[in-house]
Structure 1
Amino acid sequence: MTSFLKVDDEFKRTLGYLPDDESLDSQTIARMESSLSAAETFVQNSIGKNDKYYQDEDNKMLYKMACYSIASNWFNHPSTAASSTVAKAVIGQMRGIFDSYEELKNGTTSESGQTNTDD
């Protein structure tokens, strides 16, 4: 899996930390990195493997929202966390977009919107 997101000021704020927070030690940063990396893997495995899809400007915001939602849940509740409702909804939406993206990329949709099945 490819990681596209980094622990930055935005992610720290999502978790309730200020960028220069004195309570941010190396272990806390390592937990943030681990949570975010695991969330990216989860989201990519849930949707599909295509690096260009996640880097596409139209998909970046949804991808980030799903990853941040999952990562913050896992970071704040490591022993009991499941995927959040927000993440599940966003992942569902991204699956539909991903399918359309793959069809267009592979040229498997005809002009009428029907999938070509001619072999």
Structure 2
Amino acid sequence: MVIVDQIKQALYLDGDEDDSLIKNYITVAEQFVKNAVGGSDKFFEDKTVQPLYDMAVQSLAATYYQYRLALTDTQLFTNNATVNSIIGQLRGVYETYEGDSANENIDTSIKPSD
């Protein structure tokens, strides 16, 4: 679970003026990553998945904070390589996770023929 203090530390922010804004960015980043990968909350709480998920959320929330203005004098092309690479990894892990879950429900025992 990503907390406001982690984002503030990553952005070198002091004070608490923007805490509610950062909290909202964390919520939006969590939903973005979950929607991009798919899966249930159980998947994202898995001990092997959670560090990747948290880092993607932290990186994306920090990006939202840094680029929060919609109007600029110059054209920006934001490409969050960290988030993109972690989402790719999470998609691969999710495919394996789903495959393993499906295989648990398959009866592989040998049954005598009639």
TM over 0.5: yes
CA offsets, 1:53-83, max 9 Å, x none?
1111111111011111111001111136845
1:12 aligns with 2:8: yes
Structure with the greater alpha carbon radius of gyration: 2
Q: For residue 42 of structure 2, what is the aligned residue in structure 1?
A: 52
Q: Of residues 52, 59, 62 in structure 2, which corresponds to 1:72?
A: 62
Q: Does the 8 A contact of 2:44 with 2:53 survive in 1?
A: yes
Deviation at 1:86, TM superposition (A): 0.9
Percent identity, aligned pairs only, is 27
Deviation at 1:52, TM superposition (A): 1.2
Letter in 2 for 1:46: A
1:31 aligns with 2:21: yes
CA offsets, 1:62-111, max 9 Å, x none?
10111111110011111368451110011001100001001111217x9x
Q: For residue 113 of structure 1, what is the aligned residue in structure 2?
A: none
Gaps of 5+ in 2: 71-75, 107-114
Aligned residues: 100
Q: For residue 93 of structure 1, what is the aligned residue in structure 2?
A: 89
- Please provide the CA RMSD for this pair: 2.2
With the length of structure 2 as denominator, give the TM-score of the two structures.
Answer: 0.77
